[in-house]
């Protein structure tokens, strides 16, 4: 075990196991939604009730959309809440960016949601200037992860929200934080504070809300199956990733923590708790012969060599129920489309989810049939489903067990973050060991050259 691991991991896991009545079955007991209840945006009607005040933290791509992908929380909230939506504040230190996105909204048919929105550089400014009628019913957090997920000033937005708006629901983007691995215990403290306060908190692992994913869950639940293995592969189209920070492991913390996290989370959603000490990983470095990339859209040389990201990371691990998981993340495709597959095996069954981001297809093999059945889920919008379930959960006063569900809560998302850090660390340790061995060979050869060949 590495000395860099937070010391209380084992105690925490021990206490979870003691409190768990049936350890190892977590995977099948995780919340799920009947896939038929995940309806497309165009088939829902906005409830014409009271106004619904929302605060946006971050005026970037996740909140207002971009060419990079289908994410855009403001758009989904506009459809979910219709004329009830009132964005009372947009908080972003980049005031020009916030002003520009707001202006666009005010020039469109959703003007009523944004005409009174005030821009603030910081959450503190909002608190100081807020009038009581602007009290939010929900806060959507889409700031970069380095500014959240801890109790440290400037990186403690969740704690500030708990202090000033106790009980007000939060929606937080993934990853839950970024920072040194030693801060993980601190991030678990934030999770505890949120849980202890009883505050509803949903995290943006939207793949859990895919109809195809819920279909997989349904098959496992209906047949009382235990997952034996999860196999995940994520190949991104690196040519279309132009953000320099993404390529800098000191800024975005690398492709597993920033991007592969979605598939690590999906693995946990199906496989259950990961035995963190079992995680093993290897990587292909940028400086190895197989790691050369010809179409990076910016000059990677501006990033110090030790901070450049791996091109391939391959990991495997054990789950608490004994199942085995594996994940390969590849920074290797050009063009625009990613190639991603996620497969689950259980006794007699395999379920393979292909292309979950663009047009999900599920291949199912069942007992009694050696051929696979194919189900296509063309019309699905998990970004809408996660927002829709968040709002419905806030408004569901009757607590209907068949009703809306939060599929990724804060504590669960911290565990995914812990898991992704474990993969990064294992890969880095393996690389360091290999470089050390190579250096030893080089040194021995140099010595040999000096002293002449041995007989």
Ligand X SMILES: NC(=O)c1ccc[n+]([C@@H]2O[C@H](COP(=O)([O-])OP(=O)(O)OC[C@H]3O[C@@H](n4cnc5c(N)ncnc54)[C@H](O)[C@@H]3O)[C@@H](O)[C@H]2O)c1
Residues that bind ligand X (CB under 6 A): 57-62, 71, 91-94, 97, 142-145, 147, 173-174, 204, 206
Q: Are strands 118-120 and 85-91 parallel, antiparallel or unpaired?
A: parallel
Q: Minimal distance in Å, beta carbon 283 to ligand X? A: 21
Which residue's CB is nearer to ligand X, number 62 or number 130?
Answer: 62
CB nearer ligand X, residue 297 or residue 436? 297
Minimum CB–partner distance for residue 174 and ligand X (Å): 6
Whole-number minimum distance, CB 261 to ligand X, in Å? 8
Shortest Å, Cβ 446 to ligand X: 45
CB of 147 to ligand X, least distance (A): 4
Long-range CB contact pairs, 356-362, < 8 A, 24+: 356/207, 356/210, 356/212, 356/213, 357/69, 357/70, 360/210, 360/211, 360/212, 361/212, 362/212, 362/215, 362/216
Rounded to the nearest whole angstrom, what is the least distance from the CB of residue 436 to ligand X in the complex?
33
Return the number of the residue (70 or 403) whose C-beta is nearest ligand X. 70
- In whole angstroms, the minimum distance from the beta carbon of 155 to ligand X comes to 8
Identify the CA nearest to 56 among candidates 119, 120, 137, 139: 139
Task: List C-alpha distances in Å: 4 to 190, 426, 434.
Answer: 20, 11, 19
Are 175 and 419 contacting, i.e. CB atoms less than 8 angstroms apart?
A: no
CA distance 118 to 128: 13
- How far is Cα 273 from Cα 281, in angstroms, rounded to an integer? 18
Select 220 or 256, whichever has its Cβ closest to ligand X. Answer: 256
Half-sphere exposure of residue 114: CA atoms within 13 angstroms, side-chain side: 22
* Minimum CB–partner distance for residue 133 and ligand X (Å): 23
CA distance 233 to 339: 8
- For residue 60, the minimal CB distance to ligand X (Å) is 2
Rounded to an integer, what distance in angstroms lies between the CA atom of residue 410 and that of residue 201?
Answer: 6
Mark 260-281 as b/e (b = at least 16 C-beta within 10 Å). bbbbbbbbbbbbbbbebeebbb
Closer to ligand X by Cβ: residue 238 or 319:
238
Q: Name the residue with the smallest CB distance to ligand X.
A: 60
Could you tell me the two tokens for 26?
């977590």
Q: Which is nearer to ligand X, 62 or 274 (CB)?
A: 62
Q: Which tokens belong to 258? A: 């920033």
**Which of 101, 128, 126 has the alpha carbon at shortest distance from 113?**
101
Please say which residue, 87 or 220, places its beta carbon nearer to ligand X: 87
CB of 377 to ligand X, least distance (A): 17
CB-nearer residue toward ligand X: 284 or 360: 360
Number of H-type helices and E-type strands within the chain: 14, 14
Question: By C-beta, is 69 or 82 nearer to ligand X?
Answer: 69
Angstrom distance (rounded) from CA 102 to CA 110: 11
Query: Torsion over CA of 324, 268, 5 and 149, rounded to 10 degrees?
Result: 170
For ligand X, the closer of residues 35 and 145 by Cβ is 145
Reduce the DSSP state of residue 451 to 3 states and report it. Answer: helix
């Amino acid at each position: 075990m590495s000395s860099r691991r937070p010391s209380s991991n084992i105690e925490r896991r021990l206490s979870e196991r003691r409190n768990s009545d049936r350890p190892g079955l977590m995977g099948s007991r995780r919340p799920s939604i009947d896939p038929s209840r995940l309806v497309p945006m165009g088939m829902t009607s906005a409830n014409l009730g009271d106004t619904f005040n929302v605060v946006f933290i971050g005026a970037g791509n996740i909140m207002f959309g971009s060419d990079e992908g289908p994410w855009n929380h403001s758009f989904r909230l506009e459809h979910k809440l219709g004329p009830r939506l009132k964005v009372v504040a947009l908080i972003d230190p980049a005031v020009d960016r916030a002003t520009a996105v707001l202006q666009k909204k005010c020039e469109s048919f959703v003007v009523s949601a944004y005409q009174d929105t005030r821009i603030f550089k910081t959450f503190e400014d909002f608190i100081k200037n807020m009038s009581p009628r602007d009290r939010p019913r929900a806060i959507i957090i889409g700031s970069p992860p380095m500014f959240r997920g801890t109790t440290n000033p400037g990186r403690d937005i969740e704690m500030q929200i708990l202090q000033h708006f106790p009980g007000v629901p939060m929606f937080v983007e993934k990853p839950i934080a970024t920072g040194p691995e030693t801060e993980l215990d601190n991030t678990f403290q934030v999770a505890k504070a949120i849980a202890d306060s009883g505050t509803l908190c949903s995290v943006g692992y939207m793949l859990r809300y895919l109809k195809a994913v819920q279909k997989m869950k349904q098959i496992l639940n209906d047949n009382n199956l235990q997952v034996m293995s999860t196999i995940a592969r994520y190949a991104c189209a690196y040519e279309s990733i132009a953000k320099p920070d993404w390529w800098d492991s000191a800024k975005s913390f690398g492709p597993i923590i920033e991007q592969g996290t979605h598939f690590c989370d999906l693995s946990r959603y199906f496989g259950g708790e990961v035995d963190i000490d079992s995680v093993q990983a290897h990587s292909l470095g940028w400086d190895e012969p197989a790691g050369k990339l010809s179409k990076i859209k910016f000059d990677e040389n501006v990033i110090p060599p030790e901070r450049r990201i791996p091109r391939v990371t391959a990991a495997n691990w054990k789950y608490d129920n004994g199942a085995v998981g594996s994940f390969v993340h590849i920074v290797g495709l050009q063009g625009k489309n990613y190639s991603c597959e996620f497969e689950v095996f259980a006794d007699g069954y395999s379920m393979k989810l292909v292309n979950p981001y663009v047009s999900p297809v599920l291949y199912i093999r069942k007992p009694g049939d050696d051929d696979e059945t194919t189900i296509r889920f063309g019309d699905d919008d998990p970004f809408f489903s996660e927002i829709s379930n968040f709002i419905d959960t806030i408004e569901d006063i009757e607590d209907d067990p068949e009703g809306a569900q939060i599929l990724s809560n804060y504590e669960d998302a911290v565990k995914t973050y812990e898991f992704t850090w474990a993969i990064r660390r294992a890969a880095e340790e393996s690389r360091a060991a290999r470089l050390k061995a190579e250096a030893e060979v080089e040194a021995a050869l140099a010595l040999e050259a000096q002293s002449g060949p041995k007989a």
